[in-house]
């Protein structure tokens, strides 16, 4: 699907990956509806994009976790832009702690934003895309949505669910002209990963990507499709091994638990 001239709803536009996606889409001539929770950040990003030649940028400040927010955002997006050719959903939150120490409210928040919100938004924009018999929806997940990772239990579970949603819906929409892509980044250098998570990743020598590299893969998924896409080597190999022989992945991850535990404990003190 072409980028130039397409009108794209981008959620999570205030985040590091979202901003990188917005900049590259604008550079390539897309019309953008930017959704995020921080009006100052959204307005600054919109001004930046207009300054470099973006002709249509519509910032919409919204808390997607609020009741009715998904349908409200879809209505606002159609009102300001007139149409949508697709959506890239980058919004999400993370939870890093021992599951036994995680509050029920925290787990609920993770599932709401990481799983239920993209489902609600997809339901809200899908009738329009089906009517025009074209469109692309890209859902940004995580490598942890294919490899259950210690101390990211709720986060992993929410991304597992998002991956299942994308896979099932992609099959359901076969032949409609509407494509569903799921992109799973590995650890990315953004403010999404803060303090204890960053120190843990460095201590564990986890591979890391810059947000611009991740943004390029997300945009390629919008442009060319391709089902599920996993970013990074050897992470994509581990995804394959975990799906076939999970016990081979169990052992190395279990050996790392004691090293990870002190970092996770920082989040609950």
Instruction: Write down all domains in the chain, each with its CATH number in brackets.
Output: 7-266 (3.40.50.720)
Residue 63 CB neighbours (<10 A): 11
Res 184: pLDDT: 95
Question: Mean pLDDT over residues 132-151, rounded?
Answer: 95
Residue 178 has pLDDT above 60, yes or no: yes
Measured between alpha carbons, how far is 163 from 148 in angstroms, rounded to an integer? 13
Res 269: pLDDT: 43
Q: Which of 176, 196, 177, 198 is nearest to 187 (CA)?
A: 198
Percent of the chain with pLDDT over 70: 96
- 3-state secondary structure at position 53: coil
Exposed, middle or buried by CB within 10 Å (0-12, 13-18, 19+), for 96?
buried
Res 268: pLDDT: 45
CB 196 within 8 A of CB 96: yes
Per residue in 66-99, pLDDT tens? 999 999 999 999 999 999 999 999 999 988 888 8
Measured between alpha carbons, how far is 13 from 22 in angstroms, rounded to an integer? 7
C-alpha count within 13 angstroms, C-beta hemisphere, residue 205: 2
Res 194: pLDDT: 59
Res 40: pLDDT: 95
Question: Mean pLDDT over residues 213-234, rounded?
Answer: 90
Instruction: Tell me the C-alpha to C-alpha distance, in Å, between residue 69 and each of 44, 233, 267.
Output: 23, 37, 29
CB 95 within 8 A of CB 154: yes
Q: pLDDT class for 42, splitting at 50, 70, 90?
A: very high
CB 45 within 8 A of CB 15: no
Per residue in 145-174, pLDDT tens? 999 999 999 999 999 999 999 999 999 999
CB 14 within 8 A of CB 64: no
CB 32 within 8 A of CB 110: no
C-alpha count within 13 angstroms, C-beta hemisphere, residue 69: 18
Question: Mean pLDDT over residues 133-148, rounded?
Answer: 95
Average pLDDT, rounded, for the chain: 91
Q: pLDDT class for 191, splitting at 50, 70, 90?
A: low
CB 236 within 8 A of CB 230: yes
Measured between alpha carbons, how far is 7 from 31 in angstroms, rounded to an integer? 5
Question: Mean pLDDT over residues 172-198, rounded?
Answer: 84
Q: pLDDT class for 126, splitting at 50, 70, 90?
A: very high
Q: Which of 153, 184, 152 is nearest to 167 (CA)?
A: 184
Q: pLDDT class for 199, splitting at 50, 70, 90?
A: confident
Range from 109-123, 182-196, 242-256 that averages highest in pLDDT: 109-123
């Amino acid at each position: 699907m072409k980028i130039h001239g397409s009108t794209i709803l981008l959620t999570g536009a205030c985040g590091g990956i979202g901003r990188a996606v917005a900049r590259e889409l604008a550079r390539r001539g897309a019309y953008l509806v930017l959704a995020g929770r921080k009006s100052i950040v959204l307005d600054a990003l919109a001004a930046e994009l207009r300054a470099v030649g973006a002709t249509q940028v519509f910032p919409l400040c919204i808390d997607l976790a609020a009741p009715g927010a998904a349908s409200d955002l879809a209505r606002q997006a159609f009102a300001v832009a007139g149409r949508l050719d697709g959506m890239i959903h980058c919004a999400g939150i993370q939870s890093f702690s021992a599951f036994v120490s995680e509050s029920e409210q925290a787990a609920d928040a993770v599932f709401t934003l990481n799983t239920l919100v993209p489902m609600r938004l997809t339901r809200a924009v899908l009738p329009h895309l089906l009517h025009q018999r074209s469109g692309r929806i890209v859902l940004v997940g995580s490598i942890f949505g294919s490899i259950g990772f210690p101390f990211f239990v709720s986060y992993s579970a929410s991304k597992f669910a998002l991956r299942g949603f994308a896979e099932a819906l992609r099959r359901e929409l076969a032949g409609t002209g509407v494509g569903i892509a799921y992109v799973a980044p590995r650890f990315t250098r953004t403010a999404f990963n803060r303090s204890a998570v960053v120190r843990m990743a460095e201590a564990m020598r986890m591979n890391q990507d810059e947000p611009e590299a991740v943004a390029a893969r997300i945009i390629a998924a919008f442009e060319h499709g391709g089902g599920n896409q996993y970013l990074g080597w050897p992470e994509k190999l581990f995804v394959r091994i975990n799906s076939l022989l999970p016990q081979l992945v169990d052992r190395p991850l279990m050996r790392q638990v004691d090293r990870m535990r002190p970092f996770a404990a920082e989040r609950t003190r």
